[in-house]
Structures are given as structure tokens and as C-alpha cells.
Structure 1
């Protein structure tokens, strides 16, 4: 939305007054981002680069300052007009901040510093606080990537147990169906790209565009021809089988995959009669794999029953691990899918002797929308300020909620080069830079400078992000 292009207005109202609230003679501040726990015990770091390129790379102008000044005056908030005009004149409109972060794709335990933000100009010490609102939205792509990654670990476990080709199967086992269920195109883009860190199947086109625009990835994911209910029910119930036959004639070529929603009326009748009898020979002769999609009912029971009925019609082979793999057909379940139902479905079909090869999943709202900042308890807090030339610790420690206790002082994150463990450590108050941290034996810096004074310093490719995330295991 063009009306939201002004960076100075991409904040909370009360931020406009905060430059007046710091102690006299403050000339530097230091902030950090962490997940303070939540649903999962580790997070997949992703999305900062997209946010920085989209919002902080464009210099602010005196016109932006004029617009913000007028809005806040009418809104009832003071505004640091002189400070912002200084940034336009002295820094070309680029914010004087340094941002350090773990490399994107890193899988990091909760309660560790993922990002640090520090001012780099004593005249603009208040800037990190002003952009908190913008930067903390990092919680969204990180949380989506985290949910997707944990689902991937679950699916991987079942594939390793039941499939002859677990790594070959895995990238396409969870498909993103979430574009229509999110609140904005930006959410679809960031969330869709976050899912693609872990998988390669998606129908969220915005996610492809984000991976291309911000991470240099020409094509991050793939899809297949698939029916929706309207393209089946428009044939009428009496002609349901002709709707399915049309899908075969249009898309079922040797080696192709085509998905057909089959629960418009009676999924079990559709499999027994239409797929299993009337169209059986056409499916086989096509050389394609037909993926039957149920879209209603109890996912655990329905997927199992569909596999049994397809097995009766098309038969199976037994793989090297002793599990059944259906001939010519598969099932994709996209209704009611979340990390818990994925595990329940796979437990059920595995106990029935079916390889995970037979099943794929589509995830929509539970992937891109049924989450919030508290899913992983994300926070961005000030932890240090330089006042009268000395660094002081800044922290909160509310007696009513110890879970909201914040870290204090300047800090950095270390990683053990052999064991991969992480440790957030303080930077001595007297240290001139973060590089002066004394590292315990075996530990290296885990945070690197990614952004400084309006320019990207490390520019990750999507392939690098994927490689890091895929290398991590539960």
C-alpha cells in the first residue's frame, strides 16, 4: 500500500516521543531480539534480510519528514523533526544503525540473542528504538519457518522409518496452501518464503517472488495441476466421473503428477467406483501418478481409509523396509492439517503398513496464519545505553512475570564449533567493540554484521539459507 511507504510512519505512535525520554547525555543504545520460549524449543532464523532490503534500504527524504511532522502534530505526539532532518542531511537519509544477526537458516535454541541493533551516531542514539516496531515483525517469518521445520522433522522421521528414499521424498511432502488464509500479500510473501526454506512445494506465488527479490532465488518452489471443487462440481454430480476423466485427459502424461479433489460428494464412492473401476485402466495407461485429495472429515481416519481403498483398486509393492507403496496413485490431505495431525496421520498409516511415500500434506492457515508473536514469545528489548560516556545495563525484571525478564548489557552470541551449542555472553562495559569478547574454548562468534548504516554487509542466497536449515536435526 503506497500510503504506508514512509519509514518514519512505520512505527507505534508513542515511539515519536521517546527521544525525549532517555537520560540526559545519552549518546548510544543497544537492543537485541530473542525468542523467550514458546511452542518450540528452537527457532529457524529467517526473514531479516527481506525486511531490511524492503524497508531500510530506501533513504528517507525531507518530504518524509514533512509528512511525519504534520501527521504527529495532528495526532497529538511530539516529533523529532530536527533529528530526522539531521539523518537526511548527514547520512543521506540512511539510518545510522548496525545490525548483527545469526546467519539466516540457522536453527537456534530459544532464550538466545538472534539479532542485535546498535546506534552508530551519537546524534541518533534514539533510532534503534524508533524502528523496533518494524524489526520485531521478524517474529512472523521466523515462526513460520520454525513451524515448517518442525513439521519437516516429523515427516523425516517417518520417511526414514518407512521409505527407501527418504531424502528424495522429503522436499515435496508439505505443500503451502496458505495464501488465501493470510491477512495481506506481504504475509503471503514472507510466510510463503519462510516455508520454502524447508520444502519445495507451494501454491503461494508471493513466496516465490519474495525468495527471488530478497534472496536471489530464480525459482524456489514448484506445483502441479490440481482440481478445485468448482472445476469438479461444475460438471454436475451425475457427471462426476467425466470431470475426473477430463483431468486425466488434460494433465495425465507419462511421469506427470496430477491432483484431483474427490470428496465433493462421496470420497469413498469416488475411489471405489470412479477411480477404482471406471477410470482404473485410464489411470494406469496414462503413465502419470494421480493424487487423490480428500478435503473433509477426520483427517486421520479418512486418509487411512482412502489408502486402503486405493490399495484394493491399484495394488501395491513392498519396499526394502517392508512397507506398502501404492501403484499409480497417492493421497494428499490438505484439510485440518497442522503439526499434530501430520504426526497422527503418519502414525496411523504406518501402523497399517503403508510407507510415508503414499501421503503428502497441504497446510494453509495452520502454517501461515494460526500463529502470533507469542507462539515463540518474541521480544525486542533495549539492554544497554551509553550515558555520560559510560555503558550502563538496561533491563526489565517484573515481579509479576519472571518470564518477561530481559537480558542486560551489550551482548553477543557464540556457537561451539564442534558441538553446535549456543551461548549468549555479555560484552564488558569497558569494551570498545563487540570483538573484544573473551570467548570460551571452542566457541566462535555466531552473530555477524548484516547491515550497517543503511547498507547490506552480508547478502545470503536462498540456497545458503536452505542448506543451514536442512543440516540441523532434532
Structure 2
């Protein structure tokens, strides 16, 4: 549905080719996360996926005719001359240049992430025409990646406090279960990919596909066999133990992990009377690990209570920092009700109870991939300069008196590093060699290609 780039925009933008001043030859526009209440810096991601999935496909005669028919029936002007010129003179590739920071970088808010300008002076309307598709492609994975990284920081602090192996534990501490909770498969792909920049645990296969297709990842995410309520309750309550035993038997092996949802009827009974009693010897004789999953109740008290019961039933060891680590045959995962705030409370509670965070993993679903929007990080893309016939550039900006926080930057932008921190500057006020907004795309050609491993390394450097 989104493969016709002429229609991947807002309706009103089709009238903008008639609105720019007649002397305009080029328009520059930049995208940023404005100052917001959610994060002071953002994990920049998603531009390369957009370039390869949208702009690398030239528009066709069929795209033009489809768009012309739709716009006429829809009631908006259609710039046939402009699109015909793109097809005839540029092979269907949009004549634009996009400069950007390196993907995976943590970027302070109010610092431009990318900047766009048209390269054909007949088409000054083009840079802002693609705002809808371009901004959407960046704000969503950047926001999910930033949210996931906030969770990572919370969990990392808990591991630093309680674990003997923080670095080894961290990659699999937050698992993505969000595929069913998003609005589309493309959202699952981009959001799931963004989470994988921070963690290696996921059940969102589209996210793995996106990381592989657009960033050349090998296998960026992993999962394990896991039960759901249907596979447990189909046995009937009277055979709950048999359902659990079947999980242990079916998924046996060296270092094998299996997660079993255990609250279909009575979590405490399942932990005390089945896992910790009738199936205890089988759990301890396995080569792998049973991960007990509560799926209801208070998101902090319930998993902590489960952790305490498992300690009483299976025991474990005390690590060098003085925190309890369960017998390696048992662990806990909490996915219900998890968000940044509840994960922080649970991490704190686990440590305060004398347990290492090694004992528990966390899961997030719709809260990770869906409970965000463009205003979470206050994303915006604004025109900042106009070039005229003589080649000179003139400032373009907005400064609404009713909301000064929405003021935009004037003049072509640059990003430089000062004191170890990225800051925005006017391009005409710095040495261009110092500008970290580097051309990544020009007239249908990808100039810089980031690997997924590179993106991961930058995000945590």
C-alpha cells in the first residue's frame, strides 16, 4: 500500500508546488526531536530502512497515473509536470540529497538528526513533500529504540548492583512480545528492529527480518520454546501437572530453556505443589532451565513472591556481592504490566529483597511497540532555508508567539561536537568539515550503509 511515493504524503502537500515563492530554487528542511518530558537524548534509527524500502524504488508511469487519478477525484492539485520530469530526467528517482548523523548514535534533543534538500532547481517543493513518509520512518523506530534503551539503563543499574556478570546478563533481560499489539506488520518490523539495537531477546520476527534486510544483520534476536495459556489449559485443570511435565519432556537438551506460563488457575499452587513438589526432581535433573512465568496480579509483588517461593523450594547460591542467585534450573520472567516505571520498581524490589537481578527477565508487548506516538519525543521536520536564483540562501523559520517551544531553526543546519556533546550550529558559521551531518543519500544512490553491528555498538558507546 505504501509503495507509491507520490501518495505517501498528506493530501495538502500536493498543492505546495504552487505555494513556494517563484524565486525559490531549493528548500532545505531538517528533522529533530524537540525538547520533551520523556528523554534528554534519543537513539537515532530508521533512516536507512526508509531509503532502501521507499526511495530506492524509482517511481513509474503507473505511479504517476494512479496518483493523478486519485488527486483529481480527491480534490487536490496534481503536479504532473514535476513528476513527469522526475521520471524523464531522473529515471524516477527523487532528486534530493539527505544528510544525517550516524544511525545508532545517542543524540541530544533539539539537535538535527537529518537534513534534506532538493538537487533539481525546478523542484523546491520536493524536500518538504516527503516529510510525511520520512518523518514517520524515523520518529517511530527512534522512539521505540529510545524507550527500550531507557529500560536497558534501569536493568543495567540493577545488574551492576546485584550481579557478578552484568554484561553477560544484560542482552537477554528485556524480551519483545509486541508483534500482536501494534497497528501493522511494518510497525512490528521497525519497532522490533529498534528494540534489537538494545537487546537480543525477541518474539517479533518482523523485527529480525528488518534488521537483516535493511542493515545486513546475521541473527540479531533469539527466543526459546514457551507455553501460552491455550497450550496449557487445553489439557484441562485436572491435567495441569501433565501439561507442565510435557513441556519439560518436549524441550530437553543441553542449556535448553523453556518458559511456562503458570497462572492459568492458581500460580501459588503451581509453584509450590507442582514445580516445587511433584515435578521438582524432574526440573532439577534436566540439563536446561525452567522459566516460570506469572501472567497476572501485581506486576511487582507477584513475580517477587514467585522468586521467594522458588528460592525456598529450589535454593541456590549467594554471589560475591551478597545477593541470592537461584539454582540454575529455575528462573522467572515477568511480562504482564511491564513498562519503564514498573521495571524500575521490580528491579529495585528484587535487589532490596536480597536477590540478584540474574534471577528474573522482563517482557514488554504493546507497551514497547505501540504506546508511543510522534509527540512522545516531539518529533518535527521543518524548512530552514531557501535558495534563490543567484545561489544565495535565505533563512526560513517559524516562531509562534502562542508556543515558543515550537520555534524552528533558521538557516541550513550543521551538527558539531563540543565538549563531548553534539550541538546544533548554523552551517554558514562553522568549518563544513566539522559537520557531522554527512550525505547518506543522493538522487537514488545510498552513499553510506550502516551495518546492524555498527548501529548496536554506537548506541551503547
Q: TM-score, normalised by structure 2?
A: 0.97
**CA separation in 1, counterparts of 2:35 and 2:190?**
22
TM-fit CA distance, 1:111: 0.8
Partner of 1:120: 119
2:291 maps to which residue? 291
1:401 matched to 2:397? The reply is: no
1:142-181 → structure 2 map (5 Å cutoff): 142-181=142-181
Which digits, 9 at most, give the CA deviation of each residue in 1:163-217, with x for residues without a partner? Answer: 1110000000000000000000000000000000000000000001001110011
1:14-65 per-position Cα deviation (integer Å, ceiling 9, x unaligned): 0100011001111001000000022111100011100111000011122211
Does structure 2 conserve the Cα–Cα contact (< 8 Å) formed by 1:252 and 1:289?
A: no
| 1:107 lines up with 2:106 in the alignment | yes
Hey, what does 2:220 align to over in structure 1? 220
| Contact kept? 1:99, 1:450, Cα under 8 Å | yes
2:301 partner SS: helix
- Say whether the 8 Å CA contact 1:163–1:356 is kept in structure 2: yes
The alignment status of 1:323 with 2:313, answered yes or no, reads no
Q: Which moved more, 1:387-396 or 1:25-34?
A: 387-396
Deviation at 1:236, TM superposition (A): 0.6
Q: Aligned-pair RMSD on alpha carbons?
A: 1.1
Of the three residues 443, 449, 466, the one matched with 2:456 is 466
Deviation at 1:71, TM superposition (A): 1.0
Q: Aligned partners of 1:122 and 1:384: how far apart in 2?
A: 14
Q: Contact (CA 8 Å) 1:182, 1:365: kept in 2 or not?
A: yes
1:335-354 → structure 2 map (5 Å cutoff):
335-354=336-355
Question: Which of 428, 431, 434 is the equivalent residue of 1:438?
Answer: 431
Q: 2:34 corresponds to which residue?
A: 36
After superposition, the C-alpha distances for 1:128-155 in whole angstroms (9 at most, x for unaligned) are: 1110100010100000000001110111
Structure 1 residue 121, shift from structure 2 partner: 1.2
The 2-side partners of 1:231 and 1:110 are apart by 46
- The CA deviation at 1:274 is 0.4
Give how far 1:255 is off: 1.4
1:293–1:332 contact (8 Å) kept in structure 2: yes
For 1:203, the equivalent position in structure 2 comes to 203
Question: Who is 1:96 aligned against?
Answer: 95
**Distance in 1, Cα, partners of 2:460 & 2:274:** 40
> Partner of 1:60: helix, strand, or coil?
coil
Deviation string, structure 1 residues 93-116 (Cα, Å, up to 9, x no partner): 111111111111000110101110
SS at match of 1:299: coil
| CA distance in 1: counterparts of 2:99 and 2:175, whole angstroms | 32
Give matches, 1:420-459, under 5 Å. 420-428=420-428, 437-438=430-431, 444-459=434-449
Q: Normalized against structure 1, the TM-score is what?
A: 0.95
Instruction: Measure, in 2, the Cα distance between the counterparts of 1:387 and 1:447.
Output: 23
Tell me how far 1:388 sits from its aligned partner: 3.9
Deviations 1:202-259 (A, max 9, x none): 0000001001110011211000000000000011111111110000000132311110
Counterpart residue number, 1:412: 414
Residues of 2 paired with 1:351 and 1:90: CA distance?
Answer: 67
Corresponding residue of 1:433: none
1:181-196 correspondence runs (5 A) = 181-196=181-196
Unaligned 5+ runs, structure 2: none
Q: Stretches of 4+ moved more than 3 A in 1?
A: none
Distance 2:446 2:226 in 1: 40
Q: Alignment partner of 1:210: what SS?
A: helix
Cα shift readout 1:380-407 (whole Å, capped 9, x = no counterpart): 0101111343311111111111111111
1: CA distance, partners of 2:23 / 2:10: 25
CA deviation map 1:313-332 (0-9, x unaligned): 10010011110000021100
SS of 2:398's equivalent in the other structure is: coil
Q: Which moved more, 1:23-32 or 1:444-453?
A: 444-453
Distance 2:377 2:443 in 1: 29
Distance 1:450 1:244 in 2: 52
Matched, 1:274 2:274: yes
Offset, 1:273: 0.5
User: Hey, what's the Cα distance between the residues in 2 that align with 1:241 and 1:468?
Assistant: 47
- Structure 2 SS opposite 1:214: helix
Q: Secondary structure at the match of 1:158?
A: helix
Q: The residue matched to 1:305 in structure 2 has which SS?
A: helix
Match of 2:380 in 1: 379
1:86 aligned residue: 85
1:447 is displaced (CA, Å) by 1.7
Please list, as runs of the form range in 1=range in 2, the aligned pairs for 1:242-253 lying within 5 A after superposition: 242-253=242-253
- Matched position secondary structure for 1:23: coil
Give the whole-Å Cα distance in 2 for the aligned partners of 1:10 and 1:56.
11
Distance 1:267 1:358 in 2: 18
Aligned residues: 457
* Structure 1: distance between partners of 2:426 and 2:438: 16
